[in-house]
Amino acid sequence: MNLSTITQQWIDQNPMRNTIRTMRKTGIHQWGFVIYRATYGDDDLWDRYLAALKENIRENLQRNKCHDLLDQYAHWEVVCMEAGGNGKTDVRRLFAAWCAEQTDRFAEQPSLTPPRFTHCLYVNEECLSTLEAHEEARLKRKVPGLGPPLPPLVAVVIDGGYSPPSRGWGLASRQEFPPVEGCSDKYVGWEYYNVVYIPLLYDKLHNQRLDDEPDYVRPPAIAPLGNLSMEERS
In a domain, 169, yes or no: no
Q: How many CB atoms lie within 10 A of CB 202?
A: 23
For residue 121, the cross-strand partners are 35, 157
Chain mean pLDDT for the chain: 90
109-121 CB burial, b ≥16 within 10 A, e <16: eeeebbbbbbbbb
Residue 178 is assigned to a structural domain of this protein: no
**Within-domain flag for 183:** no
Pick the range with the lowest mean pLDDT from 9-18, 110-119, 143-152, 191-200. 143-152
With beta carbons less than 8 A apart as the criterion, state whether 58 and 117 touch. Answer: no
- Residue bearing the bigger pLDDT, 173 or 202: 202
Domain count, the chain: 1
pLDDT bracket for residue 145 (50, 70, 90) = low
4-8, 22-26, 145-149, 172-176, range with the lowest pLDDT = 172-176
pLDDT, average across residues 22-49: 94
Question: What residue type is assigned to position 190 of the chain?
Answer: W
pLDDT the model gives residue 180: 94
Q: Does residue 213 form part of some domain? A: yes
Amino acid identity for residue 213 in this structure: E
Specify whether the CB–CB gap between 160 and 92 falls below 8 A: yes
Q: What is the residue range of 218's domain?
A: 8-162+189-233
Neighbours of 163 (CB within 10 A): 8
Range name among 38-47, 109-118, 196-205 with the lowest pLDDT average = 109-118
Structural domain contains residue 171: no
User: Full-prediction pTM beyond 0.75?
Assistant: yes
Residue 130 lies in a domain: yes
Amino acid sitting at position 76: W
| DSSP state string for 142-178 | SSTT-SSPPPPPEEEEEETT--PPPSSTTGGGS---S
The dihedrals phi and psi of 52, each to the nearest 5 degrees, come to -65, -40
- Separation CA 101–CA 120 (nearest Å): 15
* DSSP letter, residue 46: H
Residue 35 parent element (H or E): strand 35-38
Would you say residue 169 has pLDDT above 50? no
Flag whether 177 is in a domain.
no
